[in-house]
Amino acid sequence: MVNPKMTPYGTDEQPNGLPPRKVRQQARNKAARRKTFRLVGTLALLLTICWAAYGLYSVFHPLLFSPSDASTQPIPSVSQNTANDTEPAPTPEHPGPHQPSVPPNANEHVHGVRLMFVGDTMMDGNVANVMQQMGDSYPLSEFMPVLQQADLVVANLETAVGTSGQKIEKTYAFQTDPARFALFEPLKGRILFTLANNHGMDAQLEETLHHLTRLGYPAIGIGQNRDEAFRPFVTEINGVRLAILGASRVIPTVDWAADEHRPGMASAYTDEPLLSTVQKWRQQVDHVIVYMHWGKEREHIPDDTQQKLAQKLLDAGARLVIGAHPHVLQELRWTSHNQLVAFSLGNFVFTTSTEAAANDTVVLDVVLSKERIAEVRVWPGRIHFGLIRRLDADPEGADIRQRLDALSPTIRIGPDGKVSPLQ
């Protein structure tokens, strides 16, 4: 009998010396194990790739969001002198920490009316694009808890309102869709707009007034004739009676100025009827407040015209003079007669500027008793691609407070934002 040929692992017929059935079973087991290993390895690789992709998405997601893609024309800050303010691609995911809500007892110990003033506001162009993608509440999602503490908010509405698209021929013309006013729905009945500025009539005045009336938002500084344009918003809150009016020294064309028979805005290129209106209402209310559109863009120091007109308004009896148009923060001035001038509050709901200072803003928080200014505070913020970031608890907010403090020789701004006169 011939022996089978031997191999290092057994015979040819019976590898490893195992019976054929067991050999086949062993082969099947090995194949199954290899298949399992391959499946587990593939799943592990897929999980690793997904985890890495998620990490990259978390880091770079802001760069993927670009509401400006929907608009072929960049929307800069206003006026013909700001052509360099083309807005880059928005980045809604902002870097700052989550801001705490406003303590419900803020200013609670002071009896009177609590007013908050904000700067240039419009919801056209890239701001509208951001709102469409992120939701109408997005721009004020961090600041709304602050604003809701006010009895009344006053804003400079730097835009016409409507859907016609029939804007006038000028370098930058804004018309905000009425639907975008959903942003202010939480403030309904507690917000007032001034339209006395160089964009309030960028489209048909009748259309703007129609939509604001339909939406239930009062406006000052504009009307069907001069008397109506200079007519103040008069209200009594917590026993304190106020008259608030708006006027502008920045008007693109004389046709925008209201006269006896022509619709338009309250022009402050002459002292009258502005000063006499302040004097008249000072006799009838506890406080007169004037919201002015004036000054030079990108200038951090009030010009001579602002300084002189501010003093005239104070002499006429205004308790507060609030300013806009420079697009940057300017001096807060607290006089020895307990009157306050905020020469410029900068931008608020507005396009992001390539100039960093034009993105810094404050909400001016003023408590008025029946007789005097009882308390003043600033809430610093920064415009970040459609969102106004709230920075009162952030080192960046401290920088804004310190810069405003340095611009304002008559006041001191504390770490908590409280403003005190130095007299």
Averaged confidence pLDDT in the chain? 83
Q: How far apart are CA 387 and CA 212, in angstroms?
A: 23
pLDDT averages per 10-residue partition of the chain, 423 residues: 37 39 51 57 57 42 31 28 37 41 51 97 97 98 99 99 95 96 98 98 98 98 98 99 99 97 98 99 99 98 98 99 98 98 98 94 99 99 97 97 98 98 87
The stretches of 225-383 forming alpha helices (DSSP H) are 226-229, 274-282, 304-316
Q: How far apart are CA 312 and CA 307, in angstroms?
A: 9
For residue range 170-185, list pLDDT tens digits in order.
999 999 999 999 999 9
For residues 278 and 288, the answer to whether their CB atoms sit within 8 Å is yes
For residues 168 and 203, the answer to whether their CB atoms sit within 8 Å is yes
- Tell me which residue of 351, 346, 355, 357 sits closest to 322, measured CA to CA: 346
Give the strand pairing for 373-384 and 418-421.
antiparallel
Residue-range domains of the chain with CATH: 113-421 (3.60.21.10)
User: In this predicted structure, what is the pLDDT of residue 111?
Assistant: 83
User: In this predicted structure, what is the pLDDT of residue 208?
Assistant: 98
For residue range 142-200, list pLDDT tens digits in order.
999 999 999 999 999 999 999 999 999 999 999 999 999 999 999 999 999 999 999 99
Q: How far apart are CA 423 and CA 421, in angstroms?
A: 6
DSSP string of 340-354? EEE--B-BSS-PPPS
